[in-house]
Amino acid sequence: MNKFILTKDHVFDACIFDFDGTLVDTEKYHFVAWQKAFDSVNIQFSPEEYLPLRSTGRANVIEYVERKHGLHFSDEQKKSLCSIKQQHFTSFVQSISQKDIIKGAVPFLEFLQANGVVSAVATSGTQAKDIAKKLSLYNYFSLFLDSANIERKKPFPDIFIKVADLLGVPAESCLVFEDSIVGVEAGIAAKMQVVSVGELQDARALMCVSDFCALLQK
């Protein structure tokens, strides 16, 4: 197993990537899908509200809206909101293309693969695997795990710990790439170092980069 050298002081056995928003710009589609779901019950939902809810799971998004608006949705209403959201997102997925891949992601994944560095995906998105296959990203990874069978979602570290266990790599030897607040928190809670990708500037991250091009210049 070869190592990824981020800096002379930071060398890792494995790279673990979030998917939505980190490798592919799908978060805009997730947001609009949620917006349409809440439109169906006459509730406005803004990008600013969605930002801290990224990668936390459907239940947390709905619970946030309930708290904010003093509501209590029935199980049937929750099921309906999730169904509407999923229908819209599935529709949007049809239009996802290479242009939605985060800048520099493919060259960076090619670099890791060519140098024998183990790469994996740990994502909350249940459709991420299908999108990865559609965009020819799937084969860059030794492991692709979504949170369908992970009880505690990010910010809990469970999915990252599970990936490290499956890879047979100590947590402290894993480098996580994330675009969300809860993702950074989950990586840190798993005792891993984290690179923040995109607009998020999180002081807890080892490094913050706008895209993967910056890492190719290291």
pLDDT digits (tens, 9 = 90+) for 130-143: 999 999 999 999 99
Domain boundaries for CATH 1.10.150.240 within the chain: 27-93
Classify domain 4-25+101-216 at the CATH class level. alpha beta
Q: For the segment 36-90, what is each residue's pLDDT rounded down to a tens digit?
A: 999 999 999 999 999 888 877 888 899 999 999 999 999 999 999 999 999 998 8
Q: What's the predicted TM-score (pTM) here?
A: 0.87
Statement: residue 29 has pLDDT above 70: yes
Q: For the segment 89-110, what is each residue's pLDDT rounded down to a tens digit?
A: 889 888 899 999 999 999 999 9
Local confidence band at 218 (pLDDT 50, 70, 90 cut-offs)? low
Between 3.40.50.300, 3.30.1370.100, 1.10.1740.10, 1.10.150.240, what CATH number should domain 27-93 receive? 1.10.150.240
Q: Which residue has the tokens 């939505």?
A: 20
Statement: residue 217 has pLDDT above 80: no
Domain boundaries for CATH 3.40.50.1000 within the chain: 4-25+101-216
- In DSSP terms, 122 is beta-bridged to 145
Q: What is the mean pLDDT of the chain?
A: 93
**Nearest C-alpha neighbor of 18 from the set 69, 54, 72:** 54
**Cβ-based burial of 74 (10 A; exposed 0-12, middle 13-18, buried ≥19):** exposed
The residue ranges of DSSP E strands in the chain, in sequence order, are 4-7, 10-12, 14-17, 118-123, 143-146, 174-178, 193-197, 207-209
- Distance from C-alpha of 140 to C-alpha of 15, rounded to nearest angstrom: 11
7/171: higher pLDDT:
171
Statement: residue 195 has pLDDT above 80: yes
